[in-house]
Amino acid sequence: MSETLTDTALSARISDEIARRRTFAIISHPDAGKTTLTERILRAGGAIQMAGNVRAKGERRRTRSDWMGIERDRGISVVTSVMTFEYGGCIFNLLDTPGHEDFSEDTYRTLTAVDCAVMVIDAAKGIEARTRKLFEICRLRDIPIVTFINKMDREAQDSFALLDEIGSGLALDTSPATWPIGRAAKFAGTYDLRTREVRPHETLSQSDERMTTLAEELELVEAALPPFDRESFDAGHLTPVFFGSAMKEIGVIDLLDALVAYGPAPRSQPSESRVVAADEPDMTALVFKIQANMDPNHRDRMAFARICSGRLTRGMRLRHGRTGKQFALHTPQFFFARDRQLAEEAFAGDVVGIPNHGTLRIGDTLTETEDLRFTGVPHFAPEILRRVRLDDAMKAKKLRQALVELAEEGVVQLFRPQDGLPPIVGVVGTLQLDVLQSRLKGEYGVAIGFESTPYTLARWVTGDKAKLETFSMVNRSAMADDIDGDPVFLASSAFMMRRMAEQNPDLAFHDIKQIG
Ligand code: G4P
């Protein structure tokens, strides 16, 4: 009897904890202000002492991700990380996505681990290419979007025109949650359309010209634009819009308060066999990111897992979905702006880092006992294929191991030609090749170069076992195995690929591989 009571108490606690989880990412075009907004958000959440700690002025980032020289040198964010902080009674997990489009696969996987995205738009530029792409990824999963129109302290497009652009350009209904008071140098704060509160950044009298303009605009807003609708937001059809200036810290609190009020709590997660609800008592988690050598002094390898349901406790035994093996979870970790901490317990929505030596891979499912595999974490067929040329033949073994580790991390895809020739790496963007080269040198002491290949396309091949074997034999010089040992056909052109598909109607050629 007492056990039942404990169970009830536990499940009530799990529900409470889950209800206050907010797991989100910020999506934007480079330069729209993602870094600045992240700093301000973390500061509001008390995660960092002073704005500017994420990236000090005059210097590019000084985040934990500093470990990677190439990132610093190029001033781009290459790695995905998570930052946890508390605000307004909620636990926020902010997942950082790489800004550069060459890392789109990494970004895609990160977006499979969030419940909501904040779309940052530059008020002068409107919707830009990368914002649109990232938005489309969110739309595939119906992820609710909150819009932050940034840089209102500069010359901006007309606010109604910006809302129109979102509405028609992205086929997304907009519902302004706040309205800007003043523009450009005279941008003075925001008016909350729901509470009718003014959050001025400077003292304004009712007779101030900006307040008069505001009153006129509000009439139009209220007549022309739909009120916030929770259901449409949850379904990803309508976005509440906030105006602000990350730099001047205007509108940031509006945004955070909104995420507390209606930022969605953890959503359910599809698996091969069933949909797993976040408030189920048994713990389930999905590995969406692997990061090796975060600390160059300790060759560590961190798997980032999003908890999809229940409660994780340190020391619990987990079942590894891909192998069916059990292991004890000794050192799950939380990440904050600048440091990490052992996670004694965590709930659905949270992201924990699990140190491991290569057992965990992207797409892996972890459960307490159930045999379950989450779906939706994809590998995309690479668009650029290069053969790796090793400068020092003595390092062949080291290179093999390093390539496997970096491929498991998702830095590149690795294809081992069945004819025994040197490995081929596949990437979506060339910057990934630079990262591979620099990390092989810096972390493994292996110098490599790249050689072109006759291939421009890679496709995973599935089908009847005997037919696949015959196909592999006939096309041996164009066949390779990926990191999981799955067969891949490398084609020199789209024409060649089509011909192969026509000649082999019993086989299927895929440009996306679901992993897990
Ligand atoms: P990103 O991560 O999306 O690439 O953008 P980031 O925050 O780095 O911002 C890009 C530039 O825009 C930075 O200027 C930043 O200071 C500026 N910025 C961000 N938010 C605002 C805002 O609300 N108003 C104005 N006026 N500017 C903003 P920078 O000159 O490239 O860098 P810095 O020298 O200021 O660090």
Would you kindly state where each structural domain of the chain is located, as residue ranges? Answer: 25-79+115-262, 270-377, 381-515
One-letter identity of residue 329: L
One-letter identity of residue 92: F
pLDDT tens digits, one per residue of 444-470: 999 999 999 999 999 999 999 999 999
Q: Which of 121-130, 142-151, 154-163, 219-228 has the lowest mean pLDDT?
A: 219-228
Atom of ligand 1 nearest to the CA of 30: 4
Radius of gyration of the chain (CA): 25
Half-sphere exposure of 307 (CA within 13 A, CB side): 34
Cβ 351 vs Cβ 82: under 8 Å: yes
Asked, colleague to colleague, whether 270-377 and 381-515 share their fold, the answer is no
**Rounded to the nearest whole angstrom, what is the distance from the C-alpha of residue 180 to the centroid of ligand 1?**
19
Residue 63 in 3-state DSSP? coil
Confidence grade of residue 80 (pLDDT, cut at 50, 70, 90): very low
pLDDT tens digits, one per residue of 381-439: 888 999 999 988 899 999 999 999 899 888 899 999 999 999 999 998 888 899 899 98
Enumerate the known binding-site residues for GTP.
28-35, 96-100, 150-153
Half-sphere exposure of 187 (CA within 13 A, CB side): 25
CA gap 241, 239 in Å, rounded? 6
> Does 478 score more than 80 pLDDT?
yes
**Rounded to the nearest whole angstrom, what is the distance from the C-alpha of residue 251 to the centroid of ligand 1?**
16
Using most ligand atoms within 8 A of CB, pick from 27, 35, 36 the residue to mutate for ligand 1: 36
**Rounded to the nearest whole angstrom, what is the distance from the C-alpha of residue 65 to the centroid of ligand 1?**
19
Confidence grade of residue 77 (pLDDT, cut at 50, 70, 90): very low
Which residues make Cβ contacts (< 8 Å) with residue 373, sequence separation at least 6?
271, 272, 273, 321, 322, 365, 516
Predicted ipTM of the assembly: 0.98
**Rounded to the nearest whole angstrom, what is the distance from the C-alpha of residue 199 to the centroid of ligand 1?**
23
Alpha helices, H only, 225-343: 230-234, 252-262
Confidence grade of residue 375 (pLDDT, cut at 50, 70, 90): confident
pLDDT (0 to 100) of residue 144 = 97
Residue with tokens 């902010």: 94
Atom of ligand 1 nearest to the CA of 38: 7
CA-proximal residue: ligand 1, atom 29 (nearest): 31
pLDDT tens digits, one per residue of 285-310: 999 988 876 666 666 788 999 999 99
Of 308, 310, 190, 200, the residue nearest 258 (C-alpha): 190
**Using alpha carbons only, what angle is made at residue 249 by residues 245 and 254, rounded to the nearest 5 degrees?**
85
Atom of ligand 1 nearest to the CA of 248: 23
Q: What is the CATH number of domain 381-515?
A: 3.30.70.3280
- The chain-wide mean pLDDT, for the chain, equals 88
Ligand 1 pocket list (CB less than 6 A): 28, 30-36, 57, 99, 150-151, 153-154, 245-247
Whole-number Cα distances in Å, 245 to 87, 133, 151, 156, 249: 20, 23, 5, 11, 6
Cβ 170 vs Cβ 132: under 8 Å: yes
CA-proximal residue: ligand 1, atom 14 (nearest): 31
pLDDT (0 to 100) of residue 70 = 45
DSSP code for 62: -
CATH architecture of 270-377: 3-Layer(aba) Sandwich (3.40)
Atom of ligand 1 nearest to the CA of 120: 3
Burial class (CB in 10 A: 0-12, 13-18, 19+), 510: middle
Which DSSP helix (H) or strand (E) runs through 37? Answer: helix 34-44
**Rounded to the nearest whole angstrom, what is the distance from the C-alpha of residue 124 to the centroid of ligand 1?**
13
The domain 25-79+115-262 having CATH identifier 3.40.50.300: the answer here is yes
Enumerate the known binding-site residues.
28-35, 96-100, 150-153
User: Percentage of the chain surpassing pLDDT 70?
Assistant: 89
pLDDT tens digits, one per residue of 155-170: 999 999 999 999 999 9
What integer is the mean pLDDT of 495-506? 95
pLDDT (0 to 100) of residue 71 = 47
Whole-number Cα distances in Å, 2 to 9, 37, 279: 10, 48, 22
**Using alpha carbons only, what angle is made at residue 35 by residues 30 and 127, rounded to the nearest 5 degrees?**
35
Its pTM stands at 0.85
> Does 91 score more than 60 pLDDT?
yes
Using most ligand atoms within 8 A of CB, pick from 55, 78, 247, 250 the residue to mutate for ligand 1: 247
What integer is the mean pLDDT of 316-334? 95
Atom of ligand 1 nearest to the CA of 150: 23
Of 415, 308, 317, 312, the residue nearest 364 (C-alpha): 308
